[in-house]
Amino acid sequence: MKGTRTLDKVTVHDGAQIHITDWGHGVPVVFSHGWPLSGDAWEDQMMFLAEHGYRVIAHDRRGHGRSSKAWHGNDMDTYADDLATVIETLDLSGAMLVGHSTGGGEVARYIGRHGTGRVSRAVLVGAVTPQMMASPANPKGVPMDAFDGIRAGVLADRAQFFKDLTLPFYGYNRPGAKVSEGVRDTFWLQGMQCSLKSAYACIQQFSETDFTEDLGKMDIPTLVIHGDDDQIVPIDTTARRAVELLPQGTLKVYAGGSHGLATTHKDQLNADLLAFLRG
């Protein structure tokens, strides 16, 4: 499944180009971002770990960021296969995979489809695993009406929808929150780099995909990190269930933590990632 690489692009099976940022040297850490962002959402973690002797790689999911705005392939299996092509093209081994939100699902599906031969450990941050949507098997899930509302907002005025989403995403709607307009603008900028088609299609993928079987195949040490005030991906729906399905899972809860932990709790997350790498 090896592709071809230029300096900052990997070409995958259907000709789509996946943008990568590849810094540093050492044990590789591969980051998968959340919706509707890009690999730049991980810049604080990447710089920190690169300065501590690790090779850090983040890719922009197809349709997102600087990757090809492909009409086809906006589904979780293809996301996972694109990630596999990046990993194989860069010939990575012993990698730690880190996924946030939708990216956590991508990491799980990658392992479910491609195994752990090139992976030593994984971290799921605010991840959508095992499943977000409410169903008879997932009674604590989020009602479909909520996701229909996201779809409607994206179609009606995604620029304003993304701006408004930053408030619950970072917990900026909580009393006493220190709001960064720069962070809100950065989220908006990354979101608007995503194609409308990909932004819309990805909603179904992060909400409806069932990762139960994938989690069961993650036979490596896996750290689950989640904020207990995550207003986007509720902890009881996801992290508390996921850790029970993981063969070697450990849950770490950030008290008062929002969904945007890579920004709002970056120092704590950086330290936890480094400790897990060294553990």
pLDDT in tens, 63-93: 999 999 999 999 999 999 999 999 999 999 9
259 is catalytic: yes
pLDDT at residue number 128: 98
Closest CA to 16 of 30, 4, 34: 4
Catalytic annotation, pick one of 101, 195, 198, 258: 101
User: 40 by DSSP, 3-state: which?
Assistant: helix
Does position 136 have pLDDT exceeding 90, yes or no? no
Catalytic annotation, pick one of 230, 258, 265, 272: 230
pLDDT at residue number 2: 77
25 is catalytic: no
Neighbours of 9 (CB within 10 A): 19
Integer CA distances (angstroms), 81 to 55, 74, 94, 164, 195, in order: 21, 11, 18, 32, 20
Per-residue model confidence as pLDDT tens digits over 156-203? 999 999 999 999 999 999 999 999 999 999 999 999 999 999 999 999
Helix axes 144-169, 196-208, angle to 10 degrees: 110
pLDDT at residue number 5: 74
Neighbours of 32 (CB within 10 A): 30
User: 265 by DSSP, 3-state: which?
Assistant: coil
What is the spatial distance between Cα 259 and Cα 75, in angstroms, rounded to a whole number? 22
What is the spatial distance between Cα 128 and Cα 18, in angstroms, rounded to a whole number? 22
What type of residue sits at position 58?
A
Phi, psi of 71 (to 5 degrees): -75, -35
Identify the CATH number of the domain defined by range 4-278. 3.40.50.1820
pLDDT at residue number 261: 98
For the whole model, what pTM was predicted? 0.97
pLDDT at residue number 140: 85
Label residues 86-120 b or e (16+ Cβ within 10 Å = b): bbebbebeebbbbbbbbbbbbbbbbbbebebebbe
What is the spatial distance between Cα 66 and Cα 80, in angstroms, rounded to a whole number? 18
Catalytic annotation, pick one of 33, 100, 226, 259: 259
101 is catalytic: yes
Closest CA to 17 of 69, 77, 53: 69
Does position 206 have pLDDT exceeding 80, yes or no? yes
pLDDT classification of 137: cutoffs 50, 70, 90: confident
